Amino acid sequence: MRRYLTIIQNKMGKLYIPILLLIFSIVIFFILYSNLKPRVLDIELYQVSDETIRAQSTVEDLEKTIENRQVAADNVAPVYSYNADLNSVQTEKIHLLFATVKETNKLAEEQYQEAVKDEKSKADLNEKEENKTLAIVAKRLTPKEKLSLFNAKLINNDEETKEFVNSLPEWSVLELLGAAEGIANQIEKATTKTLSDVMSTSIRVDELSKKKQEAISSLDYWEFTADQQRVASLILDNSLIENNVYNDQVTQKQRESAKASVQPALILQGQVIVQEGHVVDSNVIKQVKLLGLLDNKSSYHLFYSLFLLLLAQALVLFYLGKTKKDSLLKKGQELTLYVLAMTSTLLVLKGLSLMQESGLANISLLFPAALAPIVLTTFSSRRYGIVSNGFLVAFSLFLFRENTGSNSTFILSLFYLFSGMMGTMITKKRIVDQFLNTFMWVSFFNALFIGSLIFYLNLSFFSSDALLISLFALGSGLISYFLAVLFSPYLELLFTDNAVLTLMKLENPANPLLKELVIKTPGTYHHSLMVANLSANAVGAIGGDALFARVACYYHDVGKLRHSLFFVENLPSGMENPHNLLTPYESRDIIFGHVSEGVKILKEAKIPQSIIDICAQHHGTTLMKFFYIKAKELDETVQESDFRYPGPKPQTKEAAVINIADSAEAAVRSMTKPTKETIERFIHQLINSRMTDGQFDECTISIKELKIVEKSICEGLNGTFHSRIEYPSLDDKNLNKSNA
């Protein structure tokens, strides 16, 4: 099946994913179509309804809501606020007025003194005309002349101050410019004190005239001339303003708050619009129109909603594939798995929805919501599991939208969401190896959720409804796990090349390649069995795929079938080693050849690629030391790289372990008298040398895992190459003595 899928993908190329997404979206549309068809009511005003009509969704009566909110806003009284800051603002304007007057007078005086100084300088040149010169030129500016200086200074003030000063008549400013400094200070003091006293209390608009009159009257207590009092009165009249003003911002805020406090006028889901046998009035017609049950066009919003949801799903899936660094073939396989998982689970969900509509209450809780997330997380990635969970919940809203009158659809979706989320928390291993982690978590969560649901619905724990709900929910967890276990081997066959069923088939000694190994290379076969035992135990100890490691070891040396006698384990006892007749380079090529020939043989036998990769990687790029040293003895210029295996280096943990176990088993077998200490020392040195040589740089095995592997392989070899009792020979003489 996997082979056919690969052929289809290769033929379609880059078009495979877009076409698959399109077909998948169309399939989902047809699965959900019957739940989307518009339902148009045939009712007329002032006619008797032939059915009880309920709201299928919660909608807002916007017209009524706006009306209620406007009434609430109109009932809010205008807000007036006392602004104490206006006192200091208006007082500051008076201070700035007098400060400008003082600066103007100071500047005029400076100009006068400068003129006097100039005339004195001229007088030094002509003493006779000194008095005449001073009398003609040096004179102070008049208030009228100072006015231009005053206006120039006024420009530097803020707009409000300029507006305040410009509101005063020109004669009042001239009066201030011509007044003595002491008089100006008195006017400033009188006006600011009076203004501050009056504005320290609340002043409304209707009280402003009275307050101004009182303020102006209080100036009678100051010793001013008539003109000075007129100026002070004008200043007070223009600076005194109301400080208890209408606060538009607060008023609007309170009105908006009043509007917001009014709840929307809702037609609630499940609400009875009209009962069977009752007359349809104008209010019923209005509510039915709002629900879209009289307009065929308005009922198509569900189709638009589903279209956007399908588009979102397609874009998310396309993005997931785009961001992954896998091959196009791998991306297509993962998407195919997603499509199969989602389609099958949606069909199950569709069936349950039909059963629930026929009268089987709460049967939808039996849906295995965690199935698709478990399968996708295991065989693809957790991201695909999470995406499937989210869209499955979204599609369920369409399937169960007819369940009106309660929050059942919402509760059901929550149950699916969290149950599926538990399914995505499994680790990426074989499902059958994760019983506690998968089944227990999903079932435990379902039990807690259902307990919460029973309390929420105010049901008795021992009522028939509660027991049925609990049974369905727990059954959902059971079904999710056991269906995942049931389909797991077949999904592995479809989407992985190291499926359990495939490995078990390859593990069978009746396999043609293994039979050929037994017959032609019995030593290599025995070596492979030993390496398989060592590797499987070590890989299992670090959480890897032990079965795959074992089977891969059976086939890792099939290349030795080509020149079996050139490998020492296959050499009959007493036969001369054929390498003695060859040069180091010829021997090297034969030894190297068992890797490349093995890959070729495995490909011809259509063995899974993952096992072929182990064959290619089991020596990495290690140095063939024996023949390298022999070549070095003949030629000092020989390069080390000429005697290194072509690789590649181990790419997986399993390949790294097999790399170690293969060398360890062969080396220990060649020892004359292996002891526990010598075996452990050798294995430790072997692993360290491989690490130093960078053989494990391209796989994810850690130092901690290598220590576990070292311990496991040492235990395995110590158990195999243990000490044996050397039995003494009994000659005839000793035998006679013993008989005597």
For residues 267 and 265, what is the distance between their CA atoms, to the nearest angstrom? 7
Residue 138's pLDDT band (boundaries 50, 70, 90)? low
Residue 407's pLDDT band (boundaries 50, 70, 90)? low
Cα end-to-end span (Å), the chain: 78
Question: What's the pLDDT score for residue 50?
Answer: 77
CB 16 within 8 A of CB 283: no
Nearest to 348 by CA among 360, 364, 337, 359: 364
Residue 13's pLDDT band (boundaries 50, 70, 90)? confident
Residue 441's pLDDT band (boundaries 50, 70, 90)? low
**Least confident stretch, 143-152, 289-298, 590-599, 697-706:** 289-298
Q: Which residue has the tokens 């008549």?
A: 169
Residue 493 has pLDDT above 60, yes or no: yes
* Higher pLDDT, residue 129 or 695: 695
Residue 461's pLDDT band (boundaries 50, 70, 90)? confident
Helix axis angle, 464-495 to 441-456, nearest 10°: 150
Q: Which residue has the tokens 């086939």?
A: 555
Residue 331 has pLDDT above 70, yes or no: yes
Question: What's the pLDDT score for residue 690?
Answer: 95
Residue 113 has pLDDT above 50, yes or no: yes
The angle at the Cα of 33, spanning 27 to 34, to the nearest 5 degrees, equals 135
Residue 526 in tokens: 């025995």
CB 631 within 8 A of CB 643: yes
CB 417 within 8 A of CB 393: yes
Residue 187's pLDDT band (boundaries 50, 70, 90)? confident
Query: Residue 465: how many CB atoms within 10 A of its CB?
Result: 13
Q: What is the CA radius of gyration of the chain?
A: 49
For residues 330 and 321, what is the distance between their CA atoms, to the nearest angstrom? 9
Residue 375 in tokens: 């399968």
Residue 516 in tokens: 């050929």
Taking residues 576-602, what's their average pLDDT? 92
Per cent of the chain over pLDDT 90 is: 31
For residues 549 and 547, what is the distance between their CA atoms, to the nearest angstrom? 5
Question: What's the pLDDT score for residue 471?
Answer: 83
Query: CB under 8 Å to 189, separation ≥6 — which residues?
Result: none
In the 8-state DSSP scheme, what is residue 279? B
Nearest to 348 by CA among 370, 319, 322: 370
**Long-range CB pairs of 731-734, under 8 A, 24+ apart, other chains included:** none
How crowded is the C-beta side of 553, counted as CA atoms within 13 Å?
31
**Least confident stretch, 60-64, 92-96, 288-292, 303-307:** 288-292
Which helix (DSSP H) or strand (DSSP E) does residue 245 occupy? Answer: strand 244-246
Residue 39's pLDDT band (boundaries 50, 70, 90)? low
Mean of all residue pLDDT scores within the chain: 84
Residue 333's pLDDT band (boundaries 50, 70, 90)? confident
**Least confident stretch, 185-199, 409-423, 548-562:** 409-423
Residue 229 in tokens: 């009092």
Residue 421 in tokens: 């989320």
Which helix (DSSP H) or strand (DSSP E) does residue 680 occupy? Answer: helix 676-692
Residue 624's pLDDT band (boundaries 50, 70, 90)? very high
Nearest to 473 by CA among 418, 406, 402: 418
Q: Which residue has the tokens 């195999």?
A: 720
Residue 84 has pLDDT above 50, yes or no: yes
Query: Which amino acid would we find at residue 645?
Result: Y
Residue 618 has pLDDT above 80, yes or no: yes
* Higher pLDDT, residue 117 or 386: 386
Residue 406's pLDDT band (boundaries 50, 70, 90)? very low
Question: What's the pLDDT score for residue 702?
Answer: 94
Residue 92 in tokens: 């500051």
CB 494 within 8 A of CB 1: yes
For residues 228 and 178, what is the distance between their CA atoms, to the nearest angstrom? 11
Question: What's the pLDDT score for residue 592?
Answer: 94
DSSP 277-341: TSB--HHHHHHHHHTTSS-TTGGGHHHHHHHHHHHHHHHHHHHHHHH--S-HHHHHHHHHHHHHH
Taking residues 200-208, what's their average pLDDT? 83
For residues 467 and 402, what is the distance between their CA atoms, to the nearest angstrom? 24
CB 516 within 8 A of CB 564: no
How far CA 687 is from CA of 627, 628, 656, 713, in Å, comes to 21, 21, 10, 11
Query: CB under 8 Å to 638, separation ≥6 — which residues?
Result: 628, 631, 632
Question: What's the pLDDT score for residue 682?
Answer: 94
Residue 566 has pLDDT above 80, yes or no: yes
CB 194 within 8 A of CB 218: yes
DSSP 179-206: S-HHHHHHHHHHHHHHHHHHHTS---GG
Residue 736's pLDDT band (boundaries 50, 70, 90)? very low
Q: Dihedral sign for Cα 718, 721, 723, 725, please.
A: positive
Q: If you average pLDDT over each of 62-66, 534-538, 715-719, 736-740, which comes out highest?
A: 534-538
Q: Tens of pLDDT along 258-301?
A: 888 888 888 776 678 888 888 888 888 888 877 777 765 545 77
Nearest to 475 by CA among 415, 538, 540: 415
Query: Which amino acid would we find at residue 360?
Result: L
Taking residues 567-577, what's their average pLDDT? 84
For residues 299 and 731, what is the distance between their CA atoms, to the nearest angstrom? 107
Query: Which amino acid would we find at residue 27?
Result: V
Phi then psi for residue 267, to 5 deg, are: -100, 110
Query: Residue 405: how many CB atoms within 10 A of its CB?
Result: 13
* Higher pLDDT, residue 163 or 127: 163
* Higher pLDDT, residue 209 or 735: 209
CB 191 within 8 A of CB 235: yes
Residue 527 in tokens: 């070596």
Nearest to 176 by CA among 88, 94, 297: 94
Residue 140 has pLDDT above 70, yes or no: yes
0.85 cut: is pTM over it? no
Question: What's the pLDDT score for residue 722?
Answer: 57
DSSP 6-23: HHHHHHHGGGHHHHHHHH
Q: Tens of pLDDT along 216-272?
A: 888 888 888 888 888 888 888 888 888 887 778 888 888 889 888 888 888 776 678
Residue 99 has pLDDT above 80, yes or no: yes
Domain range summary for the chain, segments of one domain joined by +: 2-7+303-495, 81-239, 510-720
Q: If you average pLDDT over each of 51-65, 390-404, 489-503, 556-570, which comes out highest?
A: 556-570
For residues 171 and 459, what is the distance between their CA atoms, to the nearest angstrom? 91
Which helix (DSSP H) or strand (DSSP E) does residue 56 occupy? Answer: none
For residues 404 and 385, what is the distance between their CA atoms, to the nearest angstrom? 30
Taking residues 722-737, what's their average pLDDT? 51
Three-state DSSP string of 623-637: ECHHHHHHHHHHCCC
Question: What's the pLDDT score for residue 551?
Answer: 97
Report whether the peptide linkage leading into residue 648 is cis, meaning its omega lies within 30 degrees of zero.
Answer: yes
Q: Which residue has the tokens 């799903």?
A: 313
Distance of CA 17 to the CA centre of its chain: 24
Taking residues 380-390, what's their average pLDDT? 90
Residue 133 has pLDDT above 50, yes or no: no
Q: Which residue has the tokens 């299928």?
A: 56
CB 446 within 8 A of CB 473: yes
Q: Dihedral sign for Cα 680, 681, 682, 688, please.
A: positive
DSSP 531-595: HHHHHHHHHHHTTS-HHHHHHHHHHTTGGGGTTGGGSGGGSPTTPPPGGGGS-HHHHHHHHHHHH
510-720, what's its fold?
A: Hypothetical protein af1432 (1.10.3210)
* Higher pLDDT, residue 437 or 615: 615
Query: CB under 8 Å to 511, separation ≥6 — which residues?
Result: 505
Residue 363's pLDDT band (boundaries 50, 70, 90)? confident
Beta bridge partners of 60: 266
Residue 405's pLDDT band (boundaries 50, 70, 90)? very low
Q: Which residue has the tokens 């021997």?
A: 587
